[in-house]
Amino acid sequence: MATTHESAAPQALNPDPMFSNPYRIQRVRQETDDTFTLEIVPADSAEGFAFRPGQFNMLYVYGVGEVPISISSDPAASPVLQHTTRVVGTVTKAMRLLARGDMLGIRGPFGTHWPVEDATGRDVVIVAGGIGLAPLRPALYRLMAQREKYRKIVLLYGTRSPEDILYRNELEHWRGKFDLEIQVTVDRAASSWRGNVGVVTTMIPRAPFDPGNTAAFICGPEVMMRFTAMELQRRGVAMQRTYLSMERNMKCGIGLCGHCQYGPVFTCKDGPVFPYDRIAPLLGKAEV
């Protein structure tokens, strides 16, 4: 499956996808109460590897285990990589305890990517939910770097509360550039919050884009993505120009182990970025 017709895939650091490359932590940044960003650089090579927005790496905490995490940095900033994740399990708990100078193993990049180039000449609507903004961030960097190639760029971002807003400084910076429409909403807020309250889907009917000429990228909890895709379709955005990033239990990263099987596809190899028309029949199915 291909989500795009862009140029050949970027070269991995090591031709063996099962080989873990040593990376050194350059910076750890606490983003919100339970999310953090690791900034890493190759330990024994100045080159690193190129990646495309939406792809993920397998991050190996030595002696603990390996987890798939989307790359959240600017593709143009390679070999420096950033991964934003939430503390949810054994590996990410151990990862949170790492500090500047500590080492990690990296395999990747894996998976399909946001078809940023295919959106040339169109409006681009990015809908993010919670930590789902992280895998979309490289796409935003790429879009903003080639701003003249696109019409309107709209980011609709929903999260739990004002305290859970990711990359707040960056969002404020982008909003200040006036060529990117950013709307943020939260599920709950004290009366001191001056912004929107409500789920992210409520912003779609009035968001400023031309549905007939729009590419949409969605990432967030699966329920949020399902309702967002339906709302975009209701507004008139074509299913085949709507893309979702799915999350399953990725292990090998190359479609061999089967852990991330999602109906007839493997999320690590055929995804994580899928065109909506391909996976719409699977969304919300309890048996998948």
Partner 1 sequence: MTIHTLEPIIHATPFFEGMEQRHIELITGCASNVRWTDGETIFRQGDSADHFYLVRSGLVSVQLMVPHRGLTTILTVGEGEILGWSWLFSPYRWHFDARAQMPTYALAFDGKCLRNKCDQDHDLGYEILKRFMQVLNDRLESTRLQLLDIYGNHA
Q: Catalog residues that contact partner 1 under the rule CB under 8 A.
A: 34, 86-89, 129-131, 158-160, 164, 185, 187-191, 193-199, 201-202, 205-206, 220-221, 223-224, 227
Q: Which is nearer to partner 1, 189 or 282 (CB)?
A: 189
Nearest approach, Cβ of 93 to partner 1 (angstroms)?
Answer: 10
For residue 56, the Cα-to-chain-centroid distance in whole angstroms is 8
User: Which whole-number Å values give the CA distances from 33 to 37, 97, 102, 157, in the listed order?
Assistant: 12, 14, 22, 18
Residue 238's nearest CA partner among 207, 201, 268, 211 is 211
Closer of 92 and 214 to partner 1 (Cβ): 92
Return the number of the residue (181 or 187) whose C-beta is nearest partner 1.
187
Task: Select 116 or 134, whichever has its Cβ closest to partner 1.
Answer: 134
Question: Cβ closer to partner 1: 116 or 250?
Answer: 250
Give the rounded distance of the alpha carbon of 172 from its chain centre: 19
| Nearest approach, Cβ of residue 86 and partner 1 (Å) | 6
Give residues with Cβ within 8 angstroms of 61, minimum separation 6: 67, 91, 94, 95, 98, 104
Q: Are 134 and 165 in contact (CB under 8 A)?
A: no
CB 23 to partner 1: min, Å: 25
Shortest distance in whole angstroms from residue 225 CB to partner 1: 10
8 A C-beta contact, residue 48 and residue 79: yes
Q: Which residue type is seen at 134?
A: A
Considering the complex, what minimum distance in angstroms separates the CB of residue 191 from partner 1? 4
Separation in Å, CA 235 to CA 96, 107, 182, 208: 41, 39, 19, 11
CB of 222 to partner 1, least distance (A): 9
Contact 89, 249 (CB under 8 A): no
Nearer of residues 165 and 279 to partner 1, judged by Cβ: 165
Q: Between 7 and 191, name the residue whose CB sits nearer to partner 1.
A: 191
Taking the complex as a whole, the smallest distance from the CB of residue 165 to partner 1 amounts, in Å, to 11
CB of 235 to partner 1, least distance (A): 11
Q: What is the DSSP string of 147-186?
A: GGG-S-EEEEEEESSGGG-TTHHHHHHHHTTSSSEEEEEE
Which run of H or of E encompasses 188?
none
Tokens linked to 98 = 């790492």
Give CA–CA dist 75/50, Å, rounded. Answer: 7
8 Å CB contact between 136 and 217: yes
Residue closer to partner 1, measured from CB, 129 or 135: 129
